[in-house]
C-alpha cells in the first residue's frame, strides 16, 4: 500500500515522521532536564547510540581498506566531530533553559549559516534572491530573540552557538560527500562526536540512574530513527518539497511545550520561525530550479550521434 504512493506524497509522509521523532527527542531531553549535566547527557546519548552503528561497520571498514578514508579525511571528520560535539553540548544546555518552540525555531538557522559559510569559505556565489532570503531569515532570528525588548538568556546564546556549530559540521560533511558514501559520513560522525564529548562529560560526571540511562537511550533511538526517515524523504523528493514540512516541528513543539511543560506560546517566536523556514524553503527551491536549468543546458549542449 505504502509503496504504491506517489514518491512526493511518500517523501512528505516520511518528513512528518521525522518531525514527530525529533519532537520526541526534544521532549525526552526536556524530561531529563538538569538532573544530568548537558555535556554528560550528550555523551551518554551518543555512547548509547553506538549500538545503531553496528550495521555501518562493513561500510566503514571498506572505506578504510580502500583508501577512501585517508589521513586528510580522518582529520576533517575529527574536526567535524569536535565542532559537532560543542554544538550538541550547547543544544542539550539550551533545552534546559528555554522553551521547546524557541529551541526548534532557532535551530532552523543552521541552513542559513551553511549558505553564508559556503559563500565565504567555498566561494559559492550568492544571487540577490538568496541574499534577500538570508536577510529575511536573520530578521526572523531577531524577532525570536528581540534583544532590547526582553532578556537574551544563556540558553538563547547556546542555541546560536548550536546552529553555527552544526552549520560548520554540515559544510565539512558536504566536502566529504564526494569522497565517501552517506553511511561512512554518519558512522564517522557518531564515533568522533562520542570521543569529542568524552572529556567534557568526565569533567562534570554525575553517576546516572538506570532510569536516566533508559531515557537517554530512547533519545538515541528517536534521533537515529529521525535521521533515517529524513534520509528516506530526501531520496524520494527534493528539499524544496520536503523542507517546508519541517515547519510543523515548530507547531508541535509549541503545543507540546504548552501542554506538558506549561510553556506559553510566544507569537513572535512563531512568526520568526515562519520567516526563517520560508527563507530556507526558498533557497532550497532555487537550488532545485538552478539544477534543473543546468541539466537542461547540458542536455542541449550534448551532441547527438
Please state, in angstroms and rounded to a whole number, the distance separating the CA atoms of residues 64 and 257: 44
Query: Cβ distance 42 to 219 under 8 Å?
Result: no
Residue 147's DSSP bridge partners are 150
**Exposed/middle/buried for residue 290 (C-beta within 10 Å: 0-12, 13-18, 19+):** exposed
Looking at residue 126, the DSSP 8-state letter turns out to be: -
pTM of the model: 0.86
299, exposed or middle or buried, with CB in 10 Å at 0-12, 13-18, 19+? Answer: exposed
Using N-to-C axis directions, what is the helix angle for 267-301 and 100-107, rounded to 10°?
20
Q: For the chain, 305 residues long, give each residue's pLDDT as a single digit of tens.
A: 455 667 888 888 888 999 999 999 999 999 888 889 999 999 999 999 999 888 888 888 888 888 878 888 899 999 999 999 999 999 999 999 999 999 999 999 998 898 888 888 877 788 888 899 999 999 999 999 998 888 889 999 999 999 999 999 988 888 887 788 878 888 899 999 999 999 999 999 999 999 999 999 999 999 888 888 887 887 787 776 777 788 888 999 999 999 999 999 999 999 999 999 899 888 888 777 777 765 555 444 444 34
Could you give the CA distance from residue 252 to residue 206 in angstroms, rounded to a whole number?
Answer: 32
The CA distance from 161 to 183, in Å, is: 27
With beta carbons less than 8 A apart as the criterion, state whether 156 and 98 touch.
Answer: yes
| DSSP character string of 221-282 | HHHHHHHHHHHHHHHHS-HHHHGGGGGHHHHHHHHHHHHHH-PPP-HHHHHHHHHHHHHHHH
**Cell output for 164:** 553555527
Amino acid at each position: 500500500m505504502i509503496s504504491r504512493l506517489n514518491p512526493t506524497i511518500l517523501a512528505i509522509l516520511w518528513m512528518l515522521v521525522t518531525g514527530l521523532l525529533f519532537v520526541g527527542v526534544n521532549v525526552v531531553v526536556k524530561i531529563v532536564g538538569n538532573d544530568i549535566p548537558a555535556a554528560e547527557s550528550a555523551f551518554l546519548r551518543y555512547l548509547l547510540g553506538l549500538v545503531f552503528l553496528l550495521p555501518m561497520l562493513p561500510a566503514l571498514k571498506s572505506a578504510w581498506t580502500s583508501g577512501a578514508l585517508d589521513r586528510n579525511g580522518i582529520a576533517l571528520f575529527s574536526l567535524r566531530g569536535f565542532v559537532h560535539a560543542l554544538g550538541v553540548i550547547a543544544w542539550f544546555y539550551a533545552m534546559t533553559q528555554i522553551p521547546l518552540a524557541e529551541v526548534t525555531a532557532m535551530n532552523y538557522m543552521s541552513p542559513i549559516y551553511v549558505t553564508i559559510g559556503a559563500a565565504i569559505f567555498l566561494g559559492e556565489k550568492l544571487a540577490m534572491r538568496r541574499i534577500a532570503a538570508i536577510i529575511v531569515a536573520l530578521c526572523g532570528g531577531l524577532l525570536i530573540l528581540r534583544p532590547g525588548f526582553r532578556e537574551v538568556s544563556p540558553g538563547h546564546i547556546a542555541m546560536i552557538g548550536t546552529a553555527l556549530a552544526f552549520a560548520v559540521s554540515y559544510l565539512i560533511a558536504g566536502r566529504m560527500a564526494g569522497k565517501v558514501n552517506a553511511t561512512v559520513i554518519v558512522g564517522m560522525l557518531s564515533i568522533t562526536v562520542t570521543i569529542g564529548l568524552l572529556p567534557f562529560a568526565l569533567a562534570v560526571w554525575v553517576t546516572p540512574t538506570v532510569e536516566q540511562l533508559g531515557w537517554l537511550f530512547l533519545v538515541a533511538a528517536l534521533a537515529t530513527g529521525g535521521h533515517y526517515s529524513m534520509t528516506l524523504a530526501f531520496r524520494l523528493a527534493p528539499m524544496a518539497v520536503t523542507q517546508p514540512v519541517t515547519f510543523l516541528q515548530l507547531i508541535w513543539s509549541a503545543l507540546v511545550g504548552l501542554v506538558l511543560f506549561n510553556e506559553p506560546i510566544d507569537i513572535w517566536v512563531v512568526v520568526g520561525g515562519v520567516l526563517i523556514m520560508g527563507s530556507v524553503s526558498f533557497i532550497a527551491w532555487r537550488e532545485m530550479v538552478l539544477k534543473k536549468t543546468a541539466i537542461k543546458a547540458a542536455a542541449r549542449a550534448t551532441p547527438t550521434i
